[in-house]
Amino acid sequence: MRPYASRAAVGRTLLLVATGLASLVAALAPLDAQANLTPGVSATWRTVDDSLVGIEELPYSRLIHSVFELRGDKSGEKAYLSANWHERRFSTKKAATCGGLRYVGRYVIDSAGNAGDAWFGLEDRDGTAHLTVNRMLAIYPTAQLVGPPLCVETTGTWSGSTGVLGGYEGTFQFDNDGTLTLR
């Protein structure tokens, strides 16, 4: 009997250890995606009503004010989102992907950087968050940018301010279908 393992045995052991670690990482990945969200609060919110409050025309952009009523996926809890978006007044005619569709030959406004801010609040319990919009992508059918866009997607960061959201933070995505996802 030899006091050391064969190369084949060492290889099988390393393969088992690597497979076990990969399985553990895959199992913990969904937990990590929700790690920044407070327990008991939905991560996904769907728009049930929205209103365009107003548009302020500025020299190089326009400031869009909107309010949304949302319902959480977990228990149907009600929340509100009040947003102010900075949208550039000039579009480029480039290909872009928005809402899972690829748009070619449309007028694209890609507002990156300081693209706005928003306030998110729960209706039935204390919980508010501030959202910083890092990017807003809007696709219009014409160069005049009149009427609602064909598609809009917004991404950024959020930071809990009060109540059950206080002290938590993460990223968000507000999709064209009116779904707000907090991560």
pLDDT tens profile 68-119: 999 999 888 999 999 999 888 778 888 999 999 999 989 999 988 889 999 9
The span from the CA of 80 to the CA of 152, in Å, is: 19
Decide if pLDDT at 55 tops 80: yes
- 39, part of any domain: no
Q: Are residues 10 and 49 in the same domain?
A: no
Q: Is the same domain home to 98 and 145?
A: yes
Model confidence pLDDT, tens digit, residues 7-31? 454 444 434 434 443 443 344 334 4
Looking at the fold, whether 27 and 71 belong to one and the same domain comes out as no
Nearest-angstrom CA–CA distance, 18 and 183: 29
Same domain, yes or no: 82 and 26: no
Q: Are 151 and 103 in contact (CB under 8 A)?
A: yes
More confident residue, 10 or 171: 171
148 within domain boundaries: yes
120 vs 96: CA distance, rounded Å: 28
pLDDT tens digit sequence for 145-168 = 777 899 999 999 999 999 999 999
Same domain, 25 and 65: no
Residue 125 DSSP code: S
| The predicted structure's pLDDT at residue 93 | 86
* Residue 112 identity: A
Average pLDDT over residues 53-70: 92
Task: Report the pLDDT value the prediction gives residue 74, as an integer from 0 to 100.
Answer: 84
Question: Would you state the pLDDT for residue 19?
Answer: 42
**Same-domain check for residues 56 and 19:** no
Same domain, 51 and 10: no
Same domain (yes/no): 66, 1: no
* Structural Rg of the chain based on CA atoms: 23
Return d(Cα 108, Cα 169) in angstroms, integer.
Answer: 30
Range of the domain at 89: 44-182
Residue 13 is predicted with a pLDDT of: 42
> What is the pTM for the complete model shown?
0.75
Count of structural domains, the chain: 2
| Gap between the Cα atoms of 105 and 123, Å rounded | 42
Q: Are residues 24 and 106 in the same domain?
A: no
